[in-house]
Amino acid sequence: MDFELTREQQQVQARAREFAQRRVAPIAREADEHGVFPLHLVREMGECGFLAGPIEPSYGGAGMDYVSFALVYEELGRADSSVRGFLAVHAGLVSLCIRDWGTEEQKRRYLPRLAAGERIGCYCLTEPEAGSDVGSIATTVREDGDDFVLSGEKIWITNGNIADVAVVFATRDRAARHRGLSAFIVETDTPGFHRQKMPGKELGHRASDHARILLDGCRVPRTAALGSPGEGFKVAMSALDHGRLGVAAGAVGVAQACLDACVDFTRRRRQFGQRIADFEMVQATLADMACSLEAARLLVYRAAWLKDRGLPTTRETSMAKLFATESALRAASEAVLLHGGRGYSSEYPVERYYRDIKGLQIYEGTSHIQRIIIARELVGRGS
């Protein structure tokens, strides 16, 4: 086994780190406090080749391997989870979904603009009564002449208010559950596509754009269908495999940021006449944090490595997502504790890491769902 990154992967990592620390990190606190996504970064990410990393150059992408793309997610997550979350939806759930399931016409029409940041994508799956249980989707689709007509409600749609393109899931027959689902590419200026900001204030990812979307007789042409009729569940699950890799890698970035902050703080903070880094209990905490971080990183890189080889990755991606988010959650909790009163204030970034990481446990399937996926991959389904 070779654990060394290739020269090309190291170059991508360095470019992503430089962008994240120079362009993203300095504005992360302000964006979080004001709850406004830094839209000016979208075109910049496109120029860097981040918006559609694994997409083929013929469609405007950078042609990255998945390990390289995981490195991009990690570095962005280390700086700001809201920006990393934007990318996971825009690229992982939308662009890669269109690449995997779209017609040649759809790929030519949408992928280059998404890759350049000329268009923004959102992924409309979650509903008030359908999150983990995708088969309970209530948004309906009916045929009317040469068109499809969509009606229903979607919630917690990241990028929803700023998106130009939406991948929307709807059912032809609610009784058929998973087998009744179909997917569609919907342009958000289509009549009947209405959106508004989600009510309340998020615990974390406060700079992300989260929308409630109402589809009121939203009419789209037959060419908007993504995949074949009834394949919506397969489309959704394959997209979530891409998105989960982004969440897992982002969680590694959060854990790294927590460790960096704690090492720096414990070296500088003095109590009882010495650095708190010299207390054995503090050292034990830092050691555990570092070990969990490296284990999570290896799980993420392995899942990405398997994707690069065209092998099935559902179990490995779920394992990476589960372990990385849970590890980062512990790291963020310990980071706040080690910072004491300072960690309880937005003056230090560990407070934001603590709020943000909880969302990563939920997005693209909760930790409970990841455990179910992993277990079913191990033992199968009962008869």
pLDDT digits (tens, 9 = 90+) for 207-241: 999 999 999 999 999 999 999 999 999 999 999 99
pLDDT of residue 207: 97
Report, as an integer, the average pLDDT of 143-147. Answer: 94
Q: Quick one: pLDDT band at residue 63, thresholds 50, 70, 90?
A: very high
Pairing of strands 165-171, 181-187: antiparallel
Q: Which of 280, 326, 364, 377 is catalytic?
A: 364
Q: Of all helices (H) and strands (E), which one includes residue 275?
A: strand 274-275
What is the rounded CA–CA span in Å between residue 303 and residue 315?
Answer: 9
The 10s digit of each residue's pLDDT in 301-315 is: 999 999 999 999 999
Q: Of all helices (H) and strands (E), which one includes residue 143?
A: strand 140-144
The answer to whether 296 and 327 are in contact (CB under 8 A) is yes
Report, as an integer, the average pLDDT of 355-366. Answer: 95
Two tokens, residue 156: 């917690």
Q: Amino acid identity of 253?
A: G
364 in catalytic set:
yes
- Could you tell me the pTM of the whole model? 0.95
Report, as an integer, the average pLDDT of 261-276. Answer: 97
pLDDT at 382 over 80: no
pLDDT at 5 over 80: yes
pLDDT of residue 380: 87
CA atoms within 13 A on the CB side of 12: 23
pLDDT of residue 383: 60
The 10s digit of each residue's pLDDT in 317-341 is: 999 999 999 999 999 999 999 999 9
